[in-house]
Amino acid sequence: MRCDVVSVGTELLLGQIVDTNTVFIGEQLAAHGIASRLQVKVGDNVERIEAVFRQLLVDADALIVCGGLGPTHDDVTREAIAAVMGVELKLDEAIADVIRDLFAQLRRPMADNNMRQAMVPVGAEVIPQRRGTAPGLICPFQLDGDARVIYAIPGVPDEMEEMLERAVLPDLLARAGEPSVIASRVLKVWGESESGLNARLDDVIARLDDDGDVTLAFLARGWNGLEIRLTTSADSAFAAHERLRPWEEEIRAILGGVVFGADGDSMESVVLDALRRRGWTLGLAESLTAGLVAARLAGVPGASDVLRGGLVTYASDVKFELLGVTPGPVISEEAALEMAEGACRVFGADVGLALTGVAGPDRQDDVPVGTVCLAVVGHGAERATTLRLRQSASREQIRQLSVINALDLVRRFLR
Amino acid sequence: MRCDVVSVGTELLLGQIVDTNTVFIGEQLAAHGIASRLQVKVGDNVERIEAVFRQLLVDADALIVCGGLGPTHDDVTREAIAAVMGVELKLDEAIADVIRDLFAQLRRPMADNNMRQAMVPVGAEVIPQRRGTAPGLICPFQLDGDARVIYAIPGVPDEMEEMLERAVLPDLLARAGEPSVIASRVLKVWGESESGLNARLDDVIARLDDDGDVTLAFLARGWNGLEIRLTTSADSAFAAHERLRPWEEEIRAILGGVVFGADGDSMESVVLDALRRRGWTLGLAESLTAGLVAARLAGVPGASDVLRGGLVTYASDVKFELLGVTPGPVISEEAALEMAEGACRVFGADVGLALTGVAGPDRQDDVPVGTVCLAVVGHGAERATTLRLRQSASREQIRQLSVINALDLVRRFLR
């Protein structure tokens, strides 16, 4: 089974929008073992879209098409599909009713062109819309004697992702002769490289390959660490999850503490949860990261019950005056420790986290660029931990690496 | 002239990398009036790449191909181009010398496969490398009696962008019969929507269209505002810039204060420069943005001579105790003003900036989500300005909009 992908929209060709839809779709197809050989961006031109469909369908069994399903005259994906199928478009009364209801609810007059969204190629199956007004389409047909299928889904990422998972992938797997309930489990990792994970999971990966039922993929998520994604399909959700569970347990046992979470977890949500469970609050003192740690924690809704506040001490004398750091060089584990204690004191927090270092471009206090000192002080200062890092990277990378390493230090401190 | 774009790399199809190269190239082609009809992602497979080239070159006069120029066995762009051209690859001694020198400088042994990068299709012109080891290629040839050209450039974004601007676009414009020195001027805007700019520049845009020598494009840059890009080509850089200048002046006169900078400026660099010129320092007090303003300013190298520090006062009582805010509701212009004064005092800064508001998901102090109060206090508190915003957006959007609005308030305060 080969499934290629087409993104429709002149704005994509003009570079006005980044096409992240095919990234998501490509990932999902790979996770389910379906080959995708070509992914094409094409403008809102019905002849050109039709030509792309025909070219790709010479070798591809299926196409997923994103975008061009809106109500305006330049949304022509429906017309191009009907042309390749060699059928007419007809009004689907059920979709028409949904669209009329939506406008009635919004108390807005409905322009006639909205009914374009209810036009469906004869022989297509409708994927009902849950968000937005654009329904999706499953369009199976014969092309020169071969079975082909085109899936049309909206270009809006939220709507696209939801429809892909709910309707497109199950249908595609069924046509490929695969069981159609899909389940994934994602483990989040920090503190190990992709090649390091590969080496440590060598034996597991070999057995997964032999087994063939569960796929494993590594996905780099930048400042959110690495993901290990286990995916399988089965006849029921229960059976799929049961198939994933022993593999997850084995991987966790091998990797130990570098696995910081699963599925929807982030490093910041894990740190906040660990503090919240103990009823502890957090105070921050940041130098080179200048607020990035605070901002990342505060990005989690509900962070305010844990995060008391933070001090961005960009100038050295601010560290001395406000945090009580001993005057002198400020890039050391000792200075970081004093900063963390100062953060506890200033904010009346149970745990203090501090970061000091040199992001560059120039050395500071004769300390080379990329040197970062981290400290965590716990609950009354009877416990503390520090870490000195040397990172060879750009200014922005040094700052972002410091953030996630600091959060990870808190996580490990709390275990 | 039609120029399509091909991105080569199996990792692109698997969704492991987002293809931002074609976004940049699409933007540049549009800015120079060159049509781009199809943009294709294809894996590291020489037959498939060749097939894509042949299909696109039926209608496209030119192709820009990114990636697949590295030294490993799966870098096969060179082979695919030679196949379409119907020529052999031969070793280019000049490139070979550059690669040997590079390894000698690094004192690293050179694996034989690095010489793959010195292989060039017969009849191709080399674009010398300035970064990285991969040179680019300009490959003109006849295909079924028509003149065609393929440009091959590296997939690494920095190298790609540099080579596109230095060599590919000038060559492409020359082949299209356009003058070959290109110049752009980018104006940065905050505080006006794209449709608002369109309306205000209606007359200018109409005259630019009539004139035909200078193109104007709007580019949305998210939390960095909007860009207005003027582009032209001429026989010399001087002539090109002279052609852009009166249009820039006219646009600035129409738009006034919403234009905050040009070319490499960012809102944060403009604010830092304006403070630095006066010899003033800045202190911050952030609530809902929790360090985002500080982090954004500190992202500019050399910010430390202006930015003294910042307080992230996430808990209300921290605002009262550390900043001297009058106990009571904390989301008001009065509270923001007291926070800004507190920031000046705590950090010994000349100018204080404060942000307080509700990012959601829940109301706070009975104030609705999206309400944000900003204050700037100047140099001894004899001058101050406040702003109350109501933003209907997601939590993250509210935070980011608050950051740029706050920086813009400082900019306007300093004018």
Residues B361, A401: Cα–Cα separation, whole Å: 29
* Contact assignment for A297 to B290 by CB distance below 8 Å: yes
Closest CA to B389 of B344, B353, B359: B359
Give the model's pLDDT for residue A311.
Answer: 96
Residue A378 neighbours by CB under 8 Å, 6+ apart: A350, A351, A384, A413
Measured distance CA(B156)–CA(B147) in Å, rounded: 29
Residue type for position B360:
G
What are the pLDDT digits (tens) for B209-259?
A: 898 888 888 887 888 899 998 988 888 889 989 999 999 999 999 999 999
B2 touches chain A (CB under 8 A): no
Q: Per the CB < 8 Å rule, is B27 touching A40?
A: no
Sheet holding A214-220, edge to edge: A214-220, A226-234, A181-189, A259-262
Chain B residue numbers touching A293 (CB-CB < 8 A) = 291
Residue A396 touches chain B, beta carbons under 8 Å: yes
Mean pLDDT score, B357-362 = 88
Whether residues A15 and B28 touch (CB distance < 8 A) is answered with yes
What B44-49 contacts at long range (C-beta under 8 Å, 24+ apart), as own/partner pairs, is B44/B8, B44/B9, B44/B10, B44/B68, B44/B74, B44/B75, B44/B76, B45/A37, B45/B10, B45/B76, B46/B76, B46/B79, B46/B80, B46/B83, B48/A37, B48/A38, B49/B6, B49/B8, B49/B76, B49/B77, B49/B80
A216 touching B, CB under 8 A? no
- Structure tokens of A295? 């901002």
Judged against a pLDDT cut of 90, whether residue B344 lies above it is answered with: yes
The average pLDDT across B116-128 equals 94
pLDDT, tens digit, 9 for 90 and up, residues A372-384: 999 999 876 568 8
Most A CBs within 10 A among B34, B311, B322, B350, hence the mutation to make, goes to B311
Which among B248, B254, B199, B188 is positioned nearest to B222, based on CA atoms?
A: B188
A223 touches B: beta carbon within 8 Å: no
Inter-residue contact A288 to A356 (CB < 8 Å):
yes
| B299: nearest CA partner in chain A | A396
Q: How far is CA A82 from the centre of its chain?
A: 34
Give the model confidence (pLDDT) of B308-336 as tens digits: 999 999 888 888 999 999 999 899 999 99
pLDDT digits 0-9 by tens, A274-284 = 999 999 999 99
Question: Is-contact A167 A136, C-beta < 8 A?
Answer: yes
Cα A167 from Cα B107, distance rounded (Å)? 56
Q: ipTM value of the model? A: 0.77
d(CA B317, CA B330): 10
Chain B residues lying within 8 Å of A18, measured CB to CB: 18, 20, 23
pLDDT for residue B86 is more than 90? yes
> How far apart, in whole angstroms, are the C-alpha atoms of residue A208 and residue A157?
32
pLDDT digits (tens, 9 = 90+) for B374-391: 999 987 656 889 999 998
- Within an 8 Å CB–CB cutoff, is residue B238 touching chain A? no
Average pLDDT value over all residues in chain B: 92
C-beta neighbour count of A120 within 10 angstroms: 24
Burial label for A101, CB within 10 Å (0-12, 13-18, 19+), is exposed
Q: Is the dihedral of CA B91, B93, B94, B97 positive or negative?
A: positive
Interface size between A and B, measured as CB pairs under 8 A: 198
Confirm or reject contact between A58 and chain B (CB < 8 A). no
Predicted pLDDT of residue B172: 95
Judged by CB atoms closer than 8 Å, whether chains meet at A22 and B41 is answered as yes
The CA distance from A122 to the nearest CA of chain B, in Å, is: 28
The residue of chain A nearest to residue B47, with distances taken between CA atoms, is: A37
B287 or A112, greater pLDDT: B287
The pLDDT confidence band at residue B103, using thresholds 50, 70 and 90, is confident
CA of A90 vs chain B CAs: smallest distance (Å): 29
Q: Is residue B254 a contact partner of residue B223, using CB atoms and an 8 Å limit?
A: no
Q: What is the pLDDT of residue B11?
A: 87
Please tell me the least confidently modeled range out of B108-117, B192-201, B406-415: B108-117
CA distance A246 to chain B (A): 26
Return the amino acid letter for A251: I
Residue A149 tokens, joined? 């299928």
pLDDT at A223: 87
Dihedral sign for Cα atoms in the order A292, A297, A302, A308: negative
What predicted TM-score, i.e. pTM, was given to this entire model? 0.80
Q: For position A133, what pLDDT does the model report?
A: 67
Euclidean distance between CA atoms A403 and A392, whole angstroms? 15
Q: How many CB atoms are located within 10 Å of the residue B92 CB? A: 17
Q: Which of B15, B312, B346 sits opposite A27 (nearest CB)?
A: B15
Nearest CB partner across the interface for A309, out of B299, B313, B395: B313
* Helix (H) / strand (E) containing A147: strand A146-153
Contact A246, A253 (CB under 8 A): no
Mean of the per-residue pLDDT values for chain A? 92
- Kindly give, in sequence order, each residue whose CB lies less than 8 Å from that of residue A258, ignoring residues fewer than 6 positions away: A189, A190, A191, A192
The pLDDT assigned to A280 comes to 95
Nearest CA in chain B to A33: B14
Is A297 touching B (CB cutoff 8 A)? yes
Contact B292 A297 (CB under 8 A): no
Euclidean distance between CA atoms A230 and B78, whole angstroms: 36
Provide the pLDDT for residue A344.
Answer: 94
A91/chain B closest Cα distance in angstroms:
31
Q: What is the pLDDT of residue B98?
A: 87
Interface test with B, best of A2, A39, A363, A397 (most B CBs within 10 A): A39
Q: A383 or A403, which is more confident?
A: A403
Give the pLDDT mean for A187-211. Answer: 91
Task: State the nearest Cα–Cα gap between B250 and chain A, in angstroms.
Answer: 25
Do B314 and A292 count as a contact with CB atoms less than 8 A apart? no
The whole-angstrom distance between residue B206's C-alpha and the CA centroid of its chain comes to 27
A45 pLDDT exceeds 80?
Answer: yes
Contact A322 B312 (CB under 8 A): no
Q: Which residue has the higher pLDDT, B336 or A14?
A: B336
Do the chains contact at B26 and A12, CB–CB below 8 Å? yes
Contact call for residues A306 and A272 (beta carbons, < 8 A): yes
Question: Does A284 lie at the interface with B, CB-CB under 8 angstroms?
Answer: yes
Chain B nearest C-alpha distance from A284 (Å): 9
What does the alpha-carbon distance between residue B189 and residue B179 come to, in Å, rounded to a whole number? Answer: 29
pLDDT band at B131 (very low <50, low <70, confident <90, very high): low
Contact B290 A291 (CB under 8 A): yes
| Range with lowest mean pLDDT among A241-250, B22-31, B107-116, B184-193 | B107-116
Comparing alpha-carbon positions, the chain A residue that sits nearest to B221 is A16
- Across the interface, do A19 and B19 touch by the CB < 8 Å criterion? yes
pLDDT at res. A380: 61
Task: For residue B38, list chain A residues with Cβ-Cβ distance below 8 A.
Answer: 13, 40-42, 48, 52
**What is the nearest CA distance from B94 to chain A, expressed in angstroms?**
31
Residue B237, pLDDT score: 84
- In this prediction, residue B299 carries a pLDDT of 93
* Chain A residues whose beta carbon lies within 8 Å of the beta carbon of residue B2: none
Q: Which of residues 4-43 of B touch A (CB under 8 A)?
A: 12-20, 22-28, 30, 36-43
